[in-house]
Amino acid sequence: MSENINRRDVMGIAFGACAAVGGVFALAGMKKAWDPLPSVQAAGTTTVDISTAEANVLYTEKWRGKPVFILKKTPEMVAASSDVVKKRDLVIGDNHYMICIGLCTHLGCIPSYDPKATANEAFLCACHGATYDQAGINTKAPAPLPMLIPPFKLENGKIILGEEGPEYKKMKADGVLGETPLQA
């Protein structure tokens, strides 16, 4: 009996240890997926260094507990963009970036990005099938609105999420933040 208990205890400890190690690896994997570009978090802001960003690769940063998508566009994507899409782009020199909060505007799931999908269906929300284009503008119901652009500021080539800079204020004045319906 006591041998059984001892075996159970030993197995319990062994399983617990495996679960703990697995949990650490899972957390490390999540951290990597959430924070692929060099970034620094401070009170209410996240500073992201986009100098190493590759075109057509979606980066997901964490800002105030929310995922923020950053997508550097290829020249082909920019050439094919409508005026509304271009107004939602952050432009630095020749480079265009999409920045938006990566939450579906239907019920808040996190859409996934397919770099090989057509421009209009670049993001798919698997929860109920909504799609968004490469600017984060909703292209298929039930998403009612574009993904929201968070406040951001440019400083020394880095993006500071959580502060309003001139580029963000211009988007706000243009009415393209995602608070109202848009047509790409």
CB of 138 to ligand FES, least distance (A): 9
CB of 105 to ligand FES, least distance (A): 8
Closest to 168 measured CA to CA, from 39, 34, 45, 36:
45
Q: Figure out which of the listed residues 127, 145, 148, 154 binds ligand FES, where binding follows CB under 6 A.
A: 127
| Type of residue numbered 81 | S
96 binds ligand FES (CB under 6 A): no
Q: Provide Rg for the chain, Cα atoms.
A: 21
109 binds ligand FES (CB under 6 A): yes
CB of 139 to ligand FES, least distance (A): 12
* CA dihedral (31, 91, 148, 76) positive or negative: negative
Residue 138 CA to residue 171 CA, distance in Å, equals: 17
Nearer to ligand FES, 17 or 107 (CB): 107
CB of 85 to ligand FES, least distance (A): 21
Peptide bond preceding 142: is omega within 30 degrees of 0, i.e. cis? yes
Footprint on this chain of ligand FES (rule: CB under 6 A): 104, 106-107, 109, 125, 127-130, 142-143
